[in-house]
Amino acid sequence: MKKQEIRDFVLKLKRKPDSHKYNYGHVLVIAGSKLMPGAGILCCLGALRSGAGLVTYAVRDNFLSQACAMSKPEIIFFVYRTAPDILDFVKSRKVTSIVIGPGLKSNNSMLCKFIKEIISAVDIPVILDASGLACFNGIAGELKMANAKLIVTPHLGEFSKLLNIQSAVIKNDREKVAADFAEANSLICVLKGSNTLVSCGKEKYENNTGTPAMATAGSGDVLSGIISSFVNVTDDVFEAVKFAVFIHGLAGEIAERDKGTTGVIASDIAENICYALKQVR
């Protein structure tokens, strides 16, 4: 990002002396399963370390909430059964952004119906990642029917399945493929990888922070959490996503200095978000 863009966004993160937690957004993370409960925790941690005022982890199983509760006492847990449960929570608890997908069970018809019901009913930013995005594999055009302000975060393999296009074809012309997809479906596409690409169709941003040390399970979950926090401090969603990708990469670089290229894990990236923000300030 340009220095002035960084300065401008940092100013938006500045807190007033008389502020309270609801001034900084309430993030809802719909994630996790018995096999992958940690994915949601990493996402929540990314949101918390990025400045979100409240973060709630929504799970289907009470066992998950009990198992994860001690990992980060700052995380709120909510056990749901149906999409209306989620929608009632969003309305009553003043949720300002949602992440759907990290660690959820693999694509199935019930999950897809659940996700479609949510993104059709809300008008706030929603980040679709992992299994949340896989529900639209081969039917990506249905994303444009969403009422939510969608942000999708696929890596190359996930993007290939989503669009039903070979990875090599996307890799050879990723800027055009991402731009066409984003514009056709009125969303923001974050194509993760080396020099992560952010596109909304008319605008693009190619990130220049990051390191191969970040090629580790859960890194993308942390990014989704960062995005979910930053979209709550500006009306310019594209600007927020760009800054989130930039800070995610910078946090990875800082973690690498301490842990080495092969020693970084996703929670290291999350714990260094605060130092990345301190550095750019």
Which pair of structure tokens corresponds to residue 137? 């594999």
Using the predicted structure, report yes or no on whether residue 65 has a pLDDT greater than 80: no
CA gap 198, 174 in Å, rounded: 11
Burial label for 78, CB within 10 Å (0-12, 13-18, 19+), is middle
pLDDT at residue 138, rounded to an integer: 94
Share of the chain above pLDDT 90, in %: 90
Share of the chain above pLDDT 70, in %: 98
Burial label for 59, CB within 10 Å (0-12, 13-18, 19+), is buried
The amino acid at residue 224 is S
For residues 63-72, average pLDDT: 73
CA gap 7, 2 in Å, rounded: 9
pLDDT at residue 107, rounded to an integer: 63
Q: What is the mean pLDDT of the chain?
A: 95
How confident is the model over 158-190, as pLDDT tens digits?
999 999 999 999 999 999 999 999 999 999 999
Q: How many CB atoms lie within 10 A of CB 19?
A: 11
3-state secondary structure of 114: helix
pLDDT at residue 168, rounded to an integer: 96
Nearest-5° angle of CA 139, CA 148, CA 13? Answer: 130
pLDDT at residue 271, rounded to an integer: 98
pLDDT at residue 61, rounded to an integer: 80
Q: How many CB atoms lie within 10 A of CB 69?
A: 13
Query: pLDDT class for 34, splitting at 50, 70, 90?
Result: confident
Q: Which residues pair with 77 in a beta bridge?
A: 57
> How crowded is the C-beta side of 3, counted as CA atoms within 13 Å?
0
What's the order of all strands across the beta sheet hosting 197-199? Answer: 76-79, 54-59, 26-30, 97-100, 125-128, 149-152, 188-191, 197-199, 204-206
For residues 2-27, average pLDDT: 95
* DSSP string over 152-184: E--BHHHHHHHHT--HHHHHHTHHHHHHHHHHH
Q: What is the CATH number of the domain that holds 165?
A: 3.40.1190.20
First to last CA, the chain: 14
Show the domain range for 207: 3-11+20-280
For residues 106-133, average pLDDT: 93
How many domains does one find in the chain? 1
Could you tell me the sign of the dihedral formed by the alpha carbons of 90, 32, 137, 247, in that order? positive
Place of tokens 């894990």: 265
Q: How many CB atoms lie within 10 A of CB 21?
A: 10
How confident is the model over 193-229, as pLDDT tens digits?
999 999 999 999 999 999 999 999 999 999 999 999 9
How confident is the model over 239-280, as pLDDT tens digits?
999 999 999 999 999 999 999 999 999 999 999 999 999 999
pLDDT at residue 69, rounded to an integer: 72
